[in-house]
Chains A and B, each alone.
Chain A
Amino acid sequence: MEHEDSVKQRLEQRGVSRRDFMKYCTLLSATMGLSSSFIPKIAEALTAPRPPVVYLAFAECTGCAESTLRTMYPWIDTLLLDVISLDYHETIMAPSGEAAEKSLHDTVTKYPGKFICVVDGAIPTAENGIYGMINGKTFLDIAKDICPKALATIAIGTCASYGGVAAAAPNPTAAKSVKDAIGINTLNIPGCPPNPINFVGTVVNYLLFGKLPDVDDKGRPLFAYGQTIHDQCQRRSHFENGEFVTSFASDEAKKGYCLYQVGCKGPETYNNCPVVKFNDGTSWPVQAGHPCIGCSEPNFWDKMSPFYKSL
């Protein structure tokens, strides 16, 4: 009881009502496939001391970082101020240069084996990694130095998970996933970019159970990537009925028929987009009338393209 009171107090100080807070705990428990009896435990996990996180950006476009900023359950300010301690993140951290490097160094030396390392972007390996450098060091050397010292490395986005767009043929810089570039195991949250709820769900899983979630053979958390888009799609009945869109200008498009014949890769793509949708459940590509491009699958830029050609 005492603990609950203190949580309540802290929430109120932050301007978050107990009701709002429980709402996102409920949503997270649903996303993670847990029963409602876990909701109080999630609430407790979210208000414990904050685990240190360093976020390394390599050959990337910052889309994954931006996507993370879009989290609404919890809001990003809650995530940053109350849930985790994001000690290094080039896109939003205050210091630059030497002072920024100090932030990274401090966390790695103060919490060896205890901080979480999140990697965004592929690692160019051609010519010993010269195609990407920070402060005189290649991305390759930085990853080799930092990732093995972490409790776990989470690859956020398809580039860090599998190489992504930088590694698309002919892969000019010999870009590789974190796992392939430095030979460590990573937990992968692919997507281009991934839904922030899958990243937050993974962090909460760690806070709640003290371990990262169970993954499939491609390193992806099963709670998010356990089923195909096709099996969860709102347009699935049109597929079964043989009702297809063949032109974006057609009546069939206006009726919201199945996009299989204009190239949808939903049948071969594992992700939870149709269920959680993006941007606070606003929409997802198939709802917006565009075929799925398979962005959470390894090598999708080559394997799934041409994107408007039927599987």
Chain B
Amino acid sequence: MGQRVVIDPITRIEGHLRIEVEITNGKVSNAWSSSMLFRGLEIILQGRDPRDAWLFTQRSCGVCTYVHGLASVRAVDDAAKITIPDNARVIRNLLLGAQFLHDHIVHFYQLSALDWVDVVSALKADPKKTADLAAKVTPAPKSGINDFKATQARLKKFVDSGQLGIFANGYWGSPAYKLPPEVNLLAVEHYLMALRQQARTARMHAIFSGKNPHVQGLVVGGVTCATDLTADRIAEFKYLWAETMDFVNNVYIPDVVAVAGFYKDWGKIGGTTNFLVYGEFPQGPKEPDSFLFPRGAIFKRNVGQVQAVDIGKIEEGVKHSWYEGDKALPPAKGETKPKPGKLDVNDRYSWMKAPRYNGEPMEVGPLARVLVAYGKGHAPTKAAVDGLLKTLAVPQDALFSTLGRTAARALETKIIGEAMEGWMGQLIENVKKGDTKIYQEYQMPDAAMGAGLNDVPRGALGHWIEIKDQKIGNFQLVVPSTWNLGPRCAQDKPGPLEEALMNTPVSDPKRPVEILRTIHSFDPCIACGVHVIDPKTNEVYKFKVV
């Protein structure tokens, strides 16, 4: 019997997550993932106007803002059989692309970097050596000796003040940190740069959708930015996109490569087995054929054999979640009767249910998307992945790891960013020839079912709506973090994060920085991961999945 360690709260994520691990001989020998917040958005949606759904569901998460709003308008578009205008499709894609750029930059620097970068060690760096190193790994500006001197002085002043703020009680000095002081200083500089870059990148949302976080320019039937299809607004978007892509190409990706070079052993730690992708970015009216990232499933790491996805094979288990019953059921017959109780990892320990595809836990998100696209021969993905493996001199197997997951996120940022240029071109062409249609009139059906299947920064996201008497009868969300961070299922199979944590080395259980690396590599988002029914009436949700 190993040593039990509980980490609660897990910070630098969205929401409330508790992780318990068992450590035997310096390695994780068992792990349990618990989601600790329940809000009940689906219940709140019942009986409301279907047009309002997206405004509510967007509040599932303010980190992955926009994406739930998009999933909901797509589900209602589907139910009302609306084909949205080409401009609306392009603008929705551009907004989702902007969300990926923003979200992945924030994830790498603000949410995960401090697991790999020792901020305090940067004080010991030689600014000149840092400048020499920067010149080798990145064409980024602000990389001169004076820049690093200024950053180091700023950091020193901050540390000397004795008020360490967000950096207080960090795991500084842990033997798990492997970067030399100079690389740490470079990373601190870029951590601070990213804080400013993300605020500018978020402006892309505001241009076509009013504000960020929580855009307000979508509607069922299209988008609303009728007065923003002007040359100056499109140009403003394009400048922000170009600035962000400079950061991605010259700072983010070089940093991932540079840091990965010091942590190659993490190419063998933190992997999972199966992968699921719904697909995303419709580049024409036909779905899923026109997707930039194709739909598909991979079993047992067999990247060469990407399987077709049958949504009917999704089941959700509740045996280890705080709900009544212990059978796995498809969302079509999902019963969700909350039963709040004591946290017991041998029994029930999470508000999340345990989704399974064909009975298997499936990892969703950047690594899944990159593997499926790679397996299907998507040229830009193949080039990016092969290039990275060669640069790092690691085998293809290294993709199935914490390092692989982190690298996949960076690679898809570049791939999506580059595709956005084409979408901006389409918008410009349409406007040039006088097509400024952004909204399709429709009649809300009395009764209908609709689905919105999406792939968003954290992975496969599905919204299902049932309309009754022109109102929301039922609404269901099956979200990425539930796939990745859910508990054990009816067959007691661990969820993807629980599996990934196995065999993680732990140098000091009091400073569990290695465990955080793998947790953060999934970019957990907990608030939206919990979906449930009315605890008072125990009302059962029924969905026909189409």
Which A residues have a C-beta under 8 Å from some C-beta of B?
10, 13-15, 49-50, 52, 57, 59-67, 69-72, 75-77, 80-81, 84-87, 89-100, 102-103, 106, 124, 126-127, 130-136, 164-166, 168-173, 175, 192-193, 247-249, 253-256, 277-280, 282-290, 293, 301, 305-309
Contacts and interface: CB of A to CB of B under 8 A. Distances in A.
A135 B8 contact: yes
A246 to B, nearest CB: 11
Given A77-B192, A289-B226, A308-B52, A279 B212 contact: yes
B154 A285 contact: no
A289 B224 contact: yes
B198 interface: yes
Q: Which 4 residue pairs of A and B lie closest in terms of their CB atoms, listed nearest first?
A: A63-B62, A94-B170, A288-B210, A172-B40
A175 B154 contact: no
A283 B38 contact: no
A249 B439 contact: yes
Interface string B328-349: 0000000000001000000000
A253 B439 CA distance: 11
17 contacts: A49-B161, A59-B37, A62-B527, A81-B158, A85-B163, A93-B12, A93-B166, A124-B39, A169-B44, A170-B534, A175-B39, A278-B210, A279-B199, A283-B206, A285-B211, A287-B228, A308-B51
B55 A293 contact: yes
A288 B216 CA distance: 8
Interface residues on B, range: 35 or more
Given A134-B16, A254-B436, A289-B225, A308 B166 contact: no
Contact of A247 (B195, B206, B441, B512): B441
Contact of A96 (B10, B192, B439): B10
Most-contacted residue by chain A among B44, B210, B436 (CB, 10 A): B210
B196 A96 contact: no
A231 B519 CA distance: 48
Nearest to A282: B206
B119 interface: yes
Contacts of B441: 247, 249
Given A98-B510, A192-B59, A92 B166 contact: yes
Contacts of B7: 96-97
B9 interface: yes
A279 B205 contact: yes
A80 B216 contact: no
B394 interface: no
B213 interface: yes
B80 to A, nearest CB: 14
Nearest to A245: B226
Contacts of A91: 11-14, 63, 111
A132 B38 contact: yes
